[in-house]
């Protein structure tokens, strides 16, 4: 793919995460390296009429105790997750916030979600139809809409440039990050925050998912022969991106360079993924990064632990990487934090960056026996030391919506 001569380089200067294995990057990464599992029995809602009782809940999350401002205290849980991650990412970036004047207009805030404030909506309907209340809370609408998290963050940090939420199921976060990347690369903005947040663990959502017969009652075991479905999780993951010269001029600490981004649609089926769509997204991301397959050291896989998804992702990797696929380290951190739906690729982008920073590949836990159709190196059960110079993060969503990010080291 031909690249424009005036293409600007884009770097990562901040990251933030909320997950079932830890709130904050340090706690999150420490848990992943140890192979700790955040999946457990639901505590947020009653379990009547459910046969799925487990998920990746963010434990003991209290926005007030975390010192969130009033606008977040009045927001839905998913927007609160976004607020916590944004604060961490901006603090790490060292940017002076709130942004003022022209700086605000040269910044973007693209924070998406798969389903927005669905728990607020469920509580509202319960109040109206079961408890016979005469009205809903006056902030119900603002709490539920899928652009609320982006709006809250833009207000908090003075971002007056492009601001909206992306919705693309389980590819939402990398699509959001990729949009900020393209805006900066092509000169529309100098910096921005991108990612996604999800807080959809409630009774109704679990009923809907279990009706599809894709959830495991036991755990999430990607690429393992004994896998029997995915496990829902919640959380948020965001990155602060900047144009390289902008970051260098202000003396920012650069975490990594975002070198490539690929997105495709299967245009085939709402549930069953295609090898073509996933492999094309990976190839486009590699071409965008101007890298060869053999340059990639680590892939944070989509790895949902459903039978067809894991086989298809394995075959898609083989199609793109050829013989180099056997030299890759691959893992699905969903095995530890659960499938965070729209936020998944944001959470996993943070895991990918930490793997590069510390040259440690996080494990795929719960790996009991090799599936002959999933025969690559999935880093079973224990983290592994390895030099990780270039890394890829895959997200392949319902509807055949694919998004892939490629990261490299900070520019020399």
SS3 letters for the chain?
CCCCCCCCCEEEEEEEEEECCEECHHHHHHHHHHCCCCCEECCCCCCCCCCCCEEECCCCCCCCCCCCCHHHHCCCHHHHHHHHHHHHHHHHHCCCCCCCCHHHHCEEEEEECCCCCHHHHHHHHHHHHHCCCCCCCCCHHHHHCCCHHHHHHHHHHCCCCCEECCCCHHHHHHHHHHHHHHHHHCCCCCEEEEEEEECCCCHHHHHHHHHCCCECCCCCCCCECCCCCECEECEEEEEEEEEHHHHHHCCCCCCEEEEEEEEEECCCCCCCCCHHHHHHHHHHHHHHHCCCHHHCCEEECCCCCCHHHHHHHHHHHHHHHHHHHHHCEEECCHHHHCECHHHHHHHHHHHHHHHHHHCEECCECCCCCEECCECCCCCECCCEECCCCCEEEEEEECCCEEEEEEEECCCC
Dihedrals phi, psi of 3, to nearest 5 degrees = -110, 140
- Write the CA distances from 172 to 265, 340, 341, integer angstroms: 13, 11, 8
Angle between helices 25-34 and 344-358 (to 10 degrees): 70
Catalytic residue among 302, 337, 340, 374: 302
- As a whole number of angstroms, the distance between CA 231 and CA 38 comes to 11
Concerning whether 302 is annotated as a catalytic residue, the answer is: yes
- Write the CA distances from 347 to 130, 221, 352, 354, integer angstroms: 36, 18, 9, 11
Dihedrals phi, psi of 133, to nearest 5 degrees = -70, 155
Residues in Cβ contact with 126 at an 8 Å cutoff, skipping those fewer than 6 apart: none
Cis peptide before 139 (omega within 30 of 0): no
Catalytic residue among 170, 189, 340, 374: 170
Catalytic residue among 109, 246, 339, 340: 339
Would you please indicate which residues are annotated as catalytic (active-site) residues? 170, 302, 339
């Amino acid at each position: 793919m031909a690249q424009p001569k005036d293409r600007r380089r884009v770097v990562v200067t901040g990251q933030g995460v909320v997950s079932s294995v830890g709130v904050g990057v340090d706690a999150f990464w420490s848990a992943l390296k140890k192979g700790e599992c955040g999946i457990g029995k639901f505590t947020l809602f009653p379990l009547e009429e459910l046969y799925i009782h487990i998920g990746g809940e963010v434990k003991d999350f209290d926005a007030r105790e975390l010192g969130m401002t009033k606008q977040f205290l009045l927001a839905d849980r998913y927007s609160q997750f976004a607020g916590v991650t944004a604060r961490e990412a901006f603090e790490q970036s060292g940017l002076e916030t709130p942004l003022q004047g022209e700086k605000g207009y040269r910044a973007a805030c693209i924070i998406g979600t798969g389903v927005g404030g669905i728990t607020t909506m469920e509580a509202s309907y319960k109040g109206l139809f079961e408890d016979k209340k005469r009205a809903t809370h006056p902030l119900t609408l603002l709490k539920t809409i899928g652009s609320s998290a982006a709006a809250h963050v833009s207000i908090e940090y003075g971002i007056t440039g492009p601001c909206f939420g992306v919705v693309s199921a389980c590819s939402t976060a990398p699509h959001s990050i990729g949009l900020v990347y393209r805006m900066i690369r092509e000169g529309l903005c100098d910096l921005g925050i991108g990612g996604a947040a999800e807080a959809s663990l409630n009774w109704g959502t679990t009923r809907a998912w279990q009706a599809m017969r894709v959830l495991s009652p036991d755990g999430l075991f990607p690429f393992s022969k004994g896998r029997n479905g995915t496990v829902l999780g919640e959380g948020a993951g965001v990155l602060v991106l900047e144009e390289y010269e902008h970051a260098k001029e202000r003396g920012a600490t650069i975490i990594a360079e975002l070198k490539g981004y690929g997105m495709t649609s299967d245009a085939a089926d709402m549930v069953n993924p295609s090898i073509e769509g996933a492999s094309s997204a990976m190839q486009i991301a590699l071409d965008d990064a101007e890298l060869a397959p053999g340059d990639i050291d680590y892939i944070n896989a989509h790895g949902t632990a459903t039978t067809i998804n894991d086989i298809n992702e394995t075959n898609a990797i083989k199609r793109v990487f050829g013989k180099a696929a056997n030299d890759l380290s691959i893992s699905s951190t969903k095995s530890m934090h659960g499938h965070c739906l729209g936020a998944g690729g944001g959470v996993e982008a943070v895991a990918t960056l930490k793997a590069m920073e510390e040259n440690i590949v996080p494990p795929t836990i719960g790996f009991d026996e090799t599936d002959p159709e999933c025969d690559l190196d999935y880093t079973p059960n224990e983290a592994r030391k390895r030099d990780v110079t270039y890394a890829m993060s895959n997200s392949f969503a319902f509807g055949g919506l694919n998004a892939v990010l490629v990261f490299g080291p900070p520019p020399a």
